[in-house]
């Protein structure tokens, strides 16, 4: 919301399509031994030495998935990569390469795309992935981003969504609901800003949840941790659409039911206090919020001793037979059927 009113502006037409991708990607260095050839030919060349290749792709649309009035472009570049790496980690695989394509209307100057790619570059550097391809083109309206991520894994390490069994423990990483509440705070400040552009928002009390929204981190560390702990989940998924929706995916694909315990859902103090401020129920936010990019997985009960002391991992329930269905067990010990409250982009 605080922006330079006279930034340097170079129109995209001055560079042309070929110059543009060259310009935007000139400082990207290949970090992965599997990246044989990156940008600059018809296609990138990768070499995974016989390991399995893992591929995931996601699209982000301005006005649907992000709002540039409070999402800095560098953060958007970073988040676009994170969203895709998260899917690779959710297979218990290591991300190795990304392709990033972007369509922008001519209201975006070159400097805006440079900011976006600076975020992509930072994500690539911190997560050790290589940018190996992409496309830049014009759109008739707004900005649209498509990222494809590639990764590798040993066949035996790969974790699908369909391996959960009755009595497995349901485990979640980190804490939930922050990204959604961060978005509510940003939306509120945007409305205030519209009424009074001189007003400087104080986001300090909300810094944790605003960062969860604007600059999420994919849980590469969890894949490494699970390997170190010698735990192979029986099923795994990343939480992009809300806990409830992801649990139902695991249940459906694994043909099992689930009991989720309300009092076990990990919440940051900021999430609890901000929920109260917005007069929202923090459990509903964790169940339906989405965009936390934490990992949700199931493990055999015999693996519990290996994970129980870890502050990154919280057991929030257990799987049951399919006929028992999927339920939330509330603090009052009543059972409520879980429904997908996941964010649905077509209801936007």
Q: Which is nearer to a copy of itself, 16 or 205 (CB)?
A: 16
Q: Could you say which of 30, 72, 109, 160 contacts a copy of itself (CB under 8 A)?
A: 160
Q: Is 161 annotated as a binding residue?
A: yes
In 3D space, the residue among 134, 125, 113 whose CA is nearest the CA of residue 8 turns out to be 113
User: CB of 171 within 8 A of CB of 298?
Assistant: yes
For residues 128 and 36, what is the distance between their CA atoms, to the nearest angstrom? Answer: 15
Q: What is the smallest separation between the CB atom of 207 and a copy of itself, expressed in angstroms?
A: 29
Using CA atoms, how far residue 156 sits from 94, 201, 261, in Å, is: 13, 50, 31
Q: Which is nearer to a copy of itself, 44 or 76 (CB)?
A: 44
CB atoms within 10 A of CB 227: 13
For residues 266 and 249, what is the distance between their CA atoms, to the nearest angstrom? Answer: 20
The token duo for 172 is: 């979640």
User: CB of 52 within 8 A of CB of 84?
Assistant: no
Q: Which is nearer to a copy of itself, 106 or 167 (CB)?
A: 106
Q: Which is nearer to a copy of itself, 67 or 281 (CB)?
A: 67
Q: Is 75 annotated as a binding residue?
A: no
Q: Which is nearer to a copy of itself, 86 or 234 (CB)?
A: 86
User: CB of 164 within 8 A of CB of 247?
Assistant: no
Taking CB under 8 A as the criterion, which residues in 315-344 touch a copy of itself?
340, 342, 344
- Please give the full DSSP string across 52-90, using - where no structure is assigned: EEEEEEEEEEBTTTB-TTTS-HHHHHHHHHHHHHHHHHT
Q: What is the smallest separation between the CB atom of 109 and a copy of itself, expressed in angstroms?
A: 12
Q: What is the smallest separation between the CB atom of 73 and a copy of itself, expressed in angstroms?
A: 18
CB atoms within 10 A of CB 290: 25
Q: Is 268 annotated as a binding residue?
A: no
Taking CB under 8 A as the criterion, which residues in 185-224 touch a copy of itself?
none
Residue 302 CA neighbour count, 13 Å, CB half: 4
Q: Could you say which of 9, 29, 45, 187 contacts a copy of itself (CB under 8 A)?
A: 45
Residues 6+ apart with CB under 8 A from 244: 287, 288, 328, 338, 339, 340, 341, 342
Give the range of 45-53, 193-201, 202-210, 275-283 binding a copy of itself by CB under 8 A: 45-53
Q: Which is nearer to a copy of itself, 141 or 227 (CB)?
A: 141
Q: What is the smallest separation between the CB atom of 158 and a copy of itself, expressed in angstroms?
A: 6
Q: Is 300 annotated as a binding residue?
A: no
Give the range of 73-81, 84-92, 196-204, 324-332 binding a copy of itself by CB under 8 A: 84-92
Q: Could you say which of 24, 76, 90, 271 contacts a copy of itself (CB under 8 A)?
A: 90
Is residue 68 a contact residue for a copy of itself (CB under 8 A)? no
Q: Is 134 annotated as a binding residue?
A: yes
Using CA atoms, how far residue 134 sits from 24, 84, 147, in Å, is: 11, 14, 8
Taking CB under 8 A as the criterion, which residues in 224-243 touch a copy of itself?
236-238
CB atoms within 10 A of CB 305: 9
Q: Could you say which of 77, 133, 257, 289 contacts a copy of itself (CB under 8 A)?
A: 133
Taking CB under 8 A as the criterion, which residues in 251-270 touch a copy of itself?
253
The token duo for 131 is: 């940018």
Q: Is 291 annotated as a binding residue?
A: yes
Summarize the annotated binding site for ATP as residue ranges: 117, 134-135, 161, 240
Binding residues for Mg(2+): 42, 56-58, 87, 135, 238, 241
């Amino acid at each position: 919301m605080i922006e330079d009113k006279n930034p340097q502006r170079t129109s995209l037409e001055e560079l042309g399509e070929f110059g543009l991708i060259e310009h935007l990607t000139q400082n990207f260095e290949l970090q992965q031994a599997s990246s044989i050839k990156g940008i600059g030919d018809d296609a990138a060349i990768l070499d995974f030495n016989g390991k399995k290749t893992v591929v995931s792709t996601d699209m982000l649309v301005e006005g649907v998935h992000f709002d540039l009035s409070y999402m800095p472009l560098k953060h958007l570049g970073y988040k676009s990569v994170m969203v895709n790496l998260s899917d690779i980690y959710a297979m218990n695989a290591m991300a190795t390469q990304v392709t990033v394509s972007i369509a922008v209307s001519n209201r975006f100057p070159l400097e805006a795309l440079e900011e976006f790619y600076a975020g992509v570059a930072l994500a690539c550097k911190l997560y050790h992935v290589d940018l190996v391809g992409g496309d830049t083109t014009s759109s008739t309206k707004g900005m649209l981003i498509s990222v494809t991520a590639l990764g590798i894994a040993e066949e035996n390490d790969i974790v699908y969504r369909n391996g959960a069994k009755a009595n497995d423990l349901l485990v979640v990483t980190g804490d939930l609901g922050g990204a959604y509440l961060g978005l509510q705070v940003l939306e509120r400040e945007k409305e205030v800003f519209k009424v009074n552009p001189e007003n400087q928002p104080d986001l300090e009390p909300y810094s944790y949840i605003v960062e969860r929204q604007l600059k999420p981190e994919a849980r590469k560390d969890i894949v490494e941790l699970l390997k170190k702990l010698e735990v192979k989940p029986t099923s795994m998924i990343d939480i992009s659409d809300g806990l409830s929706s992801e649990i139902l995916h695991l249940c459906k694909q694994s043909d099992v039911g689930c009991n989720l315990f309300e009092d076990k859902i990990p919440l940051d103090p900021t999430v609890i206090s901000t929920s109260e401020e917005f007069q929202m129920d923090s459990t509903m936010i964790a169940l339906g919020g989405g965009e936390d990019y934490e990992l949700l997985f199931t493990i055999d009960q015999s693996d519990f001793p290996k994970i129980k002391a870890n502050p990154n991992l919280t057991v929030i329930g257990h799987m049951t037979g399919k006929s028992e269905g999927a339920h939330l067990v509330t603090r009052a010990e009543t059972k409520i059927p879980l429904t997908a409250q996941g964010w649905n982009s077509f209801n936007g």
